[in-house]
């Protein structure tokens, strides 16, 4: 199974390959077909393949029932993926809102802090120097 391939696409490709093998007089048993289908699943589906191998009887399992089981699991994964995507989008939105709120608060606090430092320096300067010395002078940072 390819990375972005669905179970439906994989089963169609798998059935095309098995029909070509039958044209070459190489008929596989149902057990071999089921086993090969499970082995062709991607690595992140290994737990599904293992579960099916342990709970189902390969000798009596048909390829169609395996494909149906895999389709059902694929639908469940897609539903979970959509839910996780929505949750992740909501979390990103919340984090962005919190960061923006924090930035706004922080920038106001920084501005007030700088203003108060400048004011303290100015008032100290005014107190230390007489008005005559400081007439016409401005304090810049």
Length of the chain: 141
| Residue 45 within a domain | yes
Pseudo-torsion of CA 91, 93, 95, 97, nearest 10°? -150
Q: Tokens standing for 47?
A: 């737990």
Task: Give 43's DSSP letter.
Answer: G
> How many domains in the chain?
1
| Residue 133 within a domain | no
Nearest to 44 by CA among 72, 8, 73, 10: 73
| Residue 138 within a domain | no
- Position 71 pLDDT exceeds 60: yes
Band the pLDDT of 45: cuts 50, 70, 90.
Answer: confident
| Residue 92 within a domain | yes
Range of the domain at 110: 7-128
1-22 tens-digit pLDDT: 777 788 889 889 988 998 999 8
| Residue 41 within a domain | yes
Q: What is the pTM of this model?
A: 0.56
Q: Tokens standing for 65?
A: 């029932």
| Residue 136 within a domain | no
| Residue 24 within a domain | yes
| Residue 56 within a domain | yes
Q: What is the pLDDT of residue 16?
A: 92
Band the pLDDT of 81: cuts 50, 70, 90.
Answer: confident
Q: Phi, psi (5° rounding) for residue 42? A: -65, 165
Return the higher-pLDDT residue of 4 and 26. Answer: 26
The whole-chain average pLDDT of the chain stands at 80
């Amino acid at each position: 199974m390819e990375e972005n391939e669905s179970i439906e696409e994989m089963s169609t490709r798998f059935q095309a390959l098995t029909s070509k093998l039958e044209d070459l007089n190489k008929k596989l048993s149902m057990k071999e077909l089921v086993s090969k289908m499970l082995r062709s699943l991607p690595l992140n589906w290994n737990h599904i393949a293992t579960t099916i191998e342990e709970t189902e009887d390969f000798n009596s399992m048909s390829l169609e029932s395996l494909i149906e089981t895999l389709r059902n699991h694929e639908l469940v994964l897609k539903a979970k993926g959509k839910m996780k995507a929505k949750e992740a989008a909501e979390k990103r939105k919340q984090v962005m809102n919190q960061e923006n709120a924090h930035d706004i608060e922080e920038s106001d606090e920084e501005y007030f802090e700088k203003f108060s430092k400048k004011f303290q320096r100015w008032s100290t300067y005014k107190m230390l120097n007489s008005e005559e010395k400081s007439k016409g002078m401005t304090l810049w940072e």
